[in-house]
């Protein structure tokens, strides 16, 4: 089983896929400013809908951008942490066919180990006043 998430906008998308990329279960919700509070619980609930646990997850796919700084940061951090703690391969993907590309990369044995976000623009860093 593969877990895929996309958190680049206020509408968060979570999917459970089989090894061929077929969607077994999908959840979308208007996460807005509740993403950090609700994401892990939503992931756990999604697994429970298929009577599965983290032990059944064989790969993680995370949409890495471009998109919202905070949404990407939260989603990618949660997935990187799960990948590390559970020793699950993780791939970060971009583009319209993000799930399909992620499934292909996992099937090829790829593992990014740590996914970094792509925000789509340079950081706007406030310069110190002093």
pLDDT (tens digit per residue) in 52-61:
999 999 999 9
> What does the pLDDT read at residue 71?
92
Average pLDDT in the chain? 93
Q: What CATH number does domain 2-107 carry, 3.40.50.620, 3.30.420.40, 3.40.50.2300, 3.30.300.30?
A: 3.30.420.40
pTM of the model: 0.90
**Residue 12, phi then psi, degrees to nearest 5:** -85, 140
Statement: residue 123 has pLDDT above 70: no
What are the structural domain ranges in the chain? Answer: 2-107
For tokens 């609930």, what's the residue?
Answer: 45
Model confidence at 32, pLDDT cuts 50, 70, 90, reads: confident
């Amino acid at each position: 089983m593969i877990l895929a998430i996309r958190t680049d906008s206020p509408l968060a998308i979570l999917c459970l896929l089989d090894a061929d990329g077929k969607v077994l279960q999908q959840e979308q919700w208007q996460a807005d400013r509740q993403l950090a509070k609700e994401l892990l619980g939503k992931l756990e609930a999604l697994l429970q809908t298929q009577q599965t646990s983290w032990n059944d997850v064989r790969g993680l796919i995370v949409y890495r951008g471009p998109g919202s700084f905070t949404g990407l940061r939260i989603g990618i951090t949660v997935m990187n942490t799960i990948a590390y703690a559970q020793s699950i391969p993780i791939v970060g993907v971009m583009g319209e066919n993000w799930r399909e590309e992620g499934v292909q990369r996992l099937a090829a044995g790829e593992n990014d180990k740590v996914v970094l976000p792509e925000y789509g623009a340079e950081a706007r860093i406030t310069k110190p006043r002093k």
